[in-house]
Structure 1
C-alpha cells in the first residue's frame, strides 16, 4: 500500500510539473511572439517563478497521487468512468459545482493571505512577480500551495464527477491560472467588457489585483467579489519597466513587497 501511494504521488508530481512547464511555456512563448521584448530583463524573476512553481508541483502532486491510487485501487472516491452511472445533465452541473466550490475556497483563503501576517510569511512570494508572467501561475510559498492543493482532492470524496469532467476542471484551472497572469488579455473585448465579463474573471480583472492588492480576489467568477464589495473592475496592462539583471539580484525578493491589509 505504501509503495503504491508513493509511486502514485511521484507520478502525479511529474504530471503536474510537466503540465505546468508545457502550459506556461506555450503561453510565455505566445506572449514573447506577440509582444517582443515584454520579458526583457525579467530572467531572475522568471527563474524564481519556475523554481517556486516546481516546488508547488510536488505539493499538488502528493494529494493528487493519493486520490488517483484510492480511486483505482480502493474505490475511495466518487469519481466514475461510466457515463450511465449518473444522468447526463449531471456532467455540466458537476463541472459548475466544482468550479464554484473551488472559487469559493480560493476567494476566502486568498483574502486571508492578504492579511499582514499571512502576506508577509506566504503570499508575498506570489506577489513578488511584478508584473506577473505566464510562469507565475503556480509560484507560491509551500504553505500557500498546500491550501490550494487540497481542494479538488477533497471534493472528489464528496461530489460525484465523471473522470472526463474532472479532467476538464483541471484543464480550466491550469489554463485560467496561466492566462490570468500573462500580462495581456487573450479573450475578446466583447466578452471581457460585456455582460458575461461582469461575472467571469480573466487577465484584465486579475491584473488589477496584482496592481492594487486589496481587491479582485476571485479565481474563476466575480460572484464573491461582487457580494463582498471587493470587485474594483478591470485593470489596464502597462508595459513592464526594463530591469537590469545585476540590480535585480542585489535585492532580496521578499524585501521588495509591501504587506497590504484586507
Structure 2
C-alpha cells in the first residue's frame, strides 16, 4: 500500500511543479511583451523565486497526492463526481464557500506572518521579492508553504464539492496567485474600479502590500481587510 501512496504524492508534486512553471512562466513571458524590460534587472531575484517555489511544490504536492489516493481508493473526503449528488445550484455555491474559507484562513495566517518573529523566520523570504514578479507566486519559506498547503486538503474533508468545481477552485487559486504578483495590472481598469472590483484583490491591491507590508493582507476578497480596517486601497500607480 505504501508504494502507491508514495507514487501518488510524487505524481502530484510533479503536477504542482509543472502547473507553477507553466502558469508563472506564461505570465512572465506575457510581461516581457506587455512591459518590455520590466524584469530586466531582476534576474537573480527571479532565480531565487523559482528555487523557493519549486521547494514549495513538494510541500503542496505531497499531502494533496496522499489525499487524492485516499479519495480514489478509500472514499476519503467530501469530493464527489456524480453531478446528481447535490443540486446543480450548489456547484457555484461550493466554489464560493471554498474561496471564502481559503481567503479567511489566508488573511489571518498572513497577518500572523507579519508579526516580527514569524516574519523574520519565514515570511521575509516572500517579501524579498521587490518588486514581486510572476515567479513569486509560490516563493515561500517551508513554514509559510505549510500554512498554505493545508487549506484545500482540509476543506475537502469538510465541504462537499464536485471534482470539476474543485478544479475551478485550484485554477482560480493558481491564476490569482500569479497575477497578483506580476507587478502590473492584468485586468482592465473598468473592472478594477467597478463596484465588483472594489471587493476583489488584483495586482493593484496586492502591490501596495508589498510596498507597505502592514496592509492589504487578503487573497481573493477585500472583506477581511475592510472589516479589520487594514484595507489601504490600491497602489499609487493604480489610483486613477
Please indicate the TM-score interval, normalised by the length of the shorter structure. over 0.9
Task: Say if 2:45 is the partner of 1:58.
Answer: no
Q: Aligned residue for 1:108?
A: 108
Task: Say if 2:202 is the partner of 1:202.
Answer: yes
Task: Say if 2:195 is the partner of 1:191.
Answer: no
SS of residue matched to 1:218: coil
Distance 2:128 2:236 in 1: 19
Task: Say if 2:240 is the partner of 1:236.
Answer: no
Distance 1:43 1:237 in 2: 23
Distance 1:21 1:198 in 2: 30
Q: Aligned residue for 1:31?
A: 31
- TM-score, normalised via structure 2 length: 0.98
Count residues with an aligned counterpart: 238
- TM-score, normalised via structure 1 length: 0.90
Q: Aligned residue for 1:72?
A: 72
Alignment of 1:102-251 (within 5 A): 102-237=102-237
Distance 1:178 1:94 in 2: 23
Contact 1:133 1:181 in 2 (8 A): yes
Distance 2:4 2:144 in 1: 27
Contact 1:64 1:153 in 2 (8 A): yes
Distance 2:35 2:197 in 1: 24
Q: Aligned residue for 1:5?
A: 5
The Cα offsets for residues 113-171 of structure 1, whole Å up to 9 and x where unpaired, read as 00000000000000000000000000000010001001000000010000000000000
Pairwise CA distance, 1:197: 1.4
Distance 2:236 2:179 in 1: 15
Contact 1:122 1:143 in 2 (8 A): yes
CA RMSD for the aligned pairs?
0.9
Contact 1:207 1:237 in 2 (8 A): no
Pairwise CA distance, 1:237: 4.3
Q: Aligned residue for 1:256?
A: none
Distance 1:237 1:167 in 2: 33
Distance 1:216 1:164 in 2: 30
The Cα offsets for residues 191-214 of structure 1, whole Å up to 9 and x where unpaired, read as 101111111100000000000000
User: Cα distance 1:237–1:40, how it changes in 2: closer, same or farther (>3 A)?
Assistant: farther
Deviates more, 1:32-41 or 1:207-216: 32-41
SS of residue matched to 1:157: helix
Pairwise CA distance, 1:236: 3.4
* Structure 1: gaps spanning 5 or more residues: 239-262
